[in-house]
Amino acid sequence: MLIEREPRYCLPSFEVFEDKKFFPWPAGLNEGSPCDLLLINAPFRPEERDRDYIPNSPLGLGYILTVASAAGKNCGLIDGEGLGLTPEKVAQAANDIQPEYVGINLFSPIVKTTLELVAELRPRSSIILGGPHASICSEEVLARESAVPIVVVRGEGEVTVKEILEGRPVDKIEGISYRKGEKIIHNPGREFIKDLDSLPFVNRDFFEVDPYKRDGYVVSSVSTSRGCFYQCTFCAGPVLSGRMVRFRSMSNVIREIKELVESQYAVNYIRFTDDCFLLGKNRAKEFLNELEKEDLMGRFRWDALIRADTILGFSDEILKNLKKSGVEFLSMGIETSDPKRLEAIQKGITLEETERAVERCANYDIPVKGFFILGFPGETEEDMWWTVNFALNLRKQGMAMATFNELRPYPGTAIWFELLEEGWKPQELANYQYVSLSLPEDEKSVNQYLRERGKHFTGLRRSISAVPPQKLREILREAILAFGPSGIPFYEGRCS
Ligand code: B12
Ligand code: SF4
């Protein structure tokens, strides 16, 4: 099927602040005393790449480092992903520092590359693994041989890592798994942090690429809540957060934003990283009231991921004021155009609701970016084109941007369990490859754009849908090109 293409292809690029260029010295680490904890944000790909991808700082790692340093520990971060470093470079820099503990985040689609990096790490004491894949697959991760002792942190890391660094006996630390001889021990889980306001604001000295500069913007990331009430069957969010949401108080959030806006870096763009922004009764009103109260209305631009039904719950007044507050765009998980599939994945949003939400945003001149997934179990080529066409129709109704991803069934999600029941083996569902979406004959700009997307693209080797992997990627490629980057900054895809 042939679809009309957007003619514009622009590549993003970002700059770091001069005084934030630390690598190979880890960001935030004090010279002159030994390193207690070095954290690594895993690089996505095995090869080096340019700084042409717009990063989001690893806020979770930032929180852990901020809490550990407040407890008197000397710590630092190597942002392998943000800086586009190779795993070899990261391992070498980490080993040169000789940290007591070295920790790294594990994500399922890049776990192979990351565990190869882990095998090269030589801290003085132990390696700490954390993040989504480590939390869900601790048994599998610890089953591997390792030259250095490994502690797996399941769930939130702030308190657990602090206790590890303070030398608490391992059998007394909640939320960790480790090896004892031939046995793998899973200590009882740790409760989620109830009061997020009790956490300090993330110390940005730990980030080389936050704030960063792009297109006249000075950009930082902020998280205002943790978790999600919903249970979309393809999403690991609820698996990690226990299907509940904890909110920071809005006054606490706005104080952090104010500090960033008034900092030496003069931040003027905030990327909210919440699973679902402004979820919950009155959250939007509080956001707007606090902005007004702190004289921040319109003083920075922002974007966030939001549900279509959240938008439908807003009054006209709220939408008007969100526009006034500086929203650059809102991202929405639309996923698919098949009503039955939408029900099966438990999105809890109908197509009609999505259309109304897009239209309401368009009425207030708020650009919407739709996220779509292709490759659900049983999905045919025709189904996929319906989704692409639905996206193109939404564009006519005002949707400004769209990104398309292929389904990645993450461990612990309902889709992952469904596939196991159908006879898939866990190893097959973890068998990812780096995918290139560009073709040799593409004109230069198109190729550049597709290569850019491809830098963060992985896919399973075997097809889950009714369409072979190669065909699925052809459709993805066409769908991505049909929209192209819109010229609006920060278009990169979601992590579905
Ligand atoms: C914002 C976000 C991003 C941002 C920022 C990521 C980052 N590095 O922080 C961007 C867009 C860059 C991103 C990228 C990716 N993401 Co993402 N992302 C999220 C999202 C929506 C929120 C994460 C967040 O900020 N949470 C709030 C902070 C405060 O908490 P946190 O990050 O979870 O960290 C806490 C704990 O997890 C733990 N922890 C985390 N890391 C570590 C490491 C150690 C050593 C320890 C001890 C503890 C620990 O302690 C932290 C503090 O409590 C989640 C959804 C979710 N609910 O988790 C998906 C999610 C984590 N992402 C996911 C994925 C797959 C990816 C990518 C691999 C996508 C891809 N391109 O293929 C990349 C990874 C690249 C990388 N190395 O960063 C999946 C992970 C599923 C899985 N099983 O792996 C999730 C769950 C979304 C989903 N589809 O289900 N992501
Ligand atoms: S896709 Fe969004 S709404 Fe659905 S469970 Fe994940 S975070 Fe929640």
Ligand 2 atom with the shortest distance to the CA of 235: 6
The domain spans of the chain are 18-186, 211-487
Mean pLDDT of 391-400: 91
Mean pLDDT of 412-423: 97
Ligand 1 is surrounded, with C-beta below 6 A, by 39, 41-42, 44, 56, 58-61, 63-64, 81, 103-105, 107-110, 128-133, 153, 156-158, 161, 223, 226, 235-237, 240-241, 273, 275, 410-411, 456, 458, 495-496
If one residue of 233, 234, 276, 415 were mutated to test the ligand 2 pocket, choosing by the most ligand atoms within 8 A of its CB, it would be: 276
What is the DSSP secondary structure assignment for residue 206, as one 8-state letter?
A: G
- Predicted pLDDT of residue 1: 46
The pLDDT-based confidence of 49 (bands split at 50, 70, 90) is confident
CA of 231 relative to ligand 2 center, distance in Å:
6
Question: Between 1 and 294, whose confidence is greater?
Answer: 294
227 in contact with ligand 2, CB cutoff 6 A: no
**Cβ distance 75 to 69 under 8 Å?**
yes
In tens, the pLDDT along 142-161 reads: 999 999 999 999 999 999 99
Domain 18-186 homologous superfamily, CATH: Response regulator (3.40.50.2300)
Check whether 482 has a pLDDT greater than 90.
no
**Cα angle, residue 370 at apex, residues 444 and 438 outer, rounded to 5°:** 20
The candidate with the shortest Cα–Cα distance to 277, out of 248, 299, 298, 297, is 248
- Predicted pLDDT of residue 444: 64
Alpha carbon 111 to its chain centroid, in Å, reads 15
**Cα separations in angstroms, 286 against 217, 291, 293, 422:** 25, 8, 10, 46
Residues 6+ apart with CB under 8 A from 440: none
- Predicted pLDDT of residue 61: 98
Average pLDDT over all residues of the chain = 91
- Predicted pLDDT of residue 58: 96
CATH class label, 211-487: alpha beta
What is the DSSP secondary structure assignment for residue 320, as one 8-state letter?
A: H
What is the DSSP secondary structure assignment for residue 275, as one 8-state letter?
A: S
For the CA of 54, the nearest ligand: 1
Cis bond upstream, residue 211 (ω within 30): yes
